[in-house]
A = this chain, B = another copy of it.
Amino acid sequence: MEEKLNELKEIMGTLTDLNHAAALLGWDQETYMPPGGVESRGRSLATLGQMAQEISTDEKVGKLIEALEPWATEQDPDSDDARLIVVSRRGYDKAVKVPPKMVGERAMLTTQANAAWREARQKSDYSIFEPWMEKIVEFNQRYADLFKPYDHAYDVLLDDYEPKMKTEDVKKIFAEIRPRQVKLIEAIAAAKQVDDKVLFKNYPESDQVAMGEEIARLIGFDFNRGRQDKVHHPFASNIGYGDQRITYRVDENFFNTYIFSIMHESGHAMYEQGIPQSLSRTTLYGGTSLAIHESQSRLWENLVGRSLPFWEFYYPKLQARFPEQTKGVSLMEFYKAINKVEPSLIRVEADEATYNLHIMLRLEIEIGLLEGTIKVSELPQIWNDTFEEYLGIRPKNDAEGVLQDVHWSFGLFGYFSTYALGNLVSLQLWDQIRQDIPNLDDQSRQGKFDELLTWLNKNVHQHGSKFYPQDLVQRITGSKINGDPYIKYLNDKYSQIYGL
Contact of A48 among B21, B35, B40, B224 (CB under 8 A): B21
For residue A58, give the distance in angstroms from its CB to the closest CB of chain B: 13
Of A12-20, A184-192, A471-479, the one with at least 4 CB within 8 A of chain B: A12-20
Q: A114 on the interface (CB 8 Å rule)?
A: no
Of A117-125, A143-151, A239-247, A368-376, the one with at least 4 CB within 8 A of chain B: A239-247
Inter-chain contacts of A405 with B (CB < 8 A): none
Of A26-34, A395-403, A458-466, the one with at least 4 CB within 8 A of chain B: A26-34
Q: Is the CB of A36 within 8 A of B243?
A: yes
Q: Is the CB of B47 within 8 A of A224?
A: no
Q: Is the CB of B47 within 8 A of A239?
A: no
Q: Is the CB of B280 within 8 A of A36?
A: no
> CA separation between A32 and B28, bound complex, in Å?
10
Q: Is the CB of B32 within 8 A of A21?
A: no
Q: A164 on the interface (CB 8 Å rule)?
A: no
> CA separation between A21 and B33, bound complex, in Å?
13
Contact of A14 among B28, B47, B280 (CB under 8 A): B47
Number of interface residues of A (CB under 8 A): 42
Q: A309 on the interface (CB 8 Å rule)?
A: no
Q: Is the CB of B44 within 8 A of A18?
A: yes
| Closest Cβ neighbor of A40 among chain B residues | B240
Contact of A242 among B34, B239, B240 (CB under 8 A): B34
Q: Is the CB of A240 within 8 A of B44?
A: yes
Contact of A36 among B34, B51, B224 (CB under 8 A): B224
Contacting B at CB under 8 A, from A18-71, are: 18, 20-22, 24-25, 28, 32-41, 43-44, 46-48, 51
* Interchain residue pairs A-B with the least CB separation, the first 8: A40-B240, A37-B243, A36-B242, A36-B225, A17-B47, A17-B44, A21-B44, A40-B241
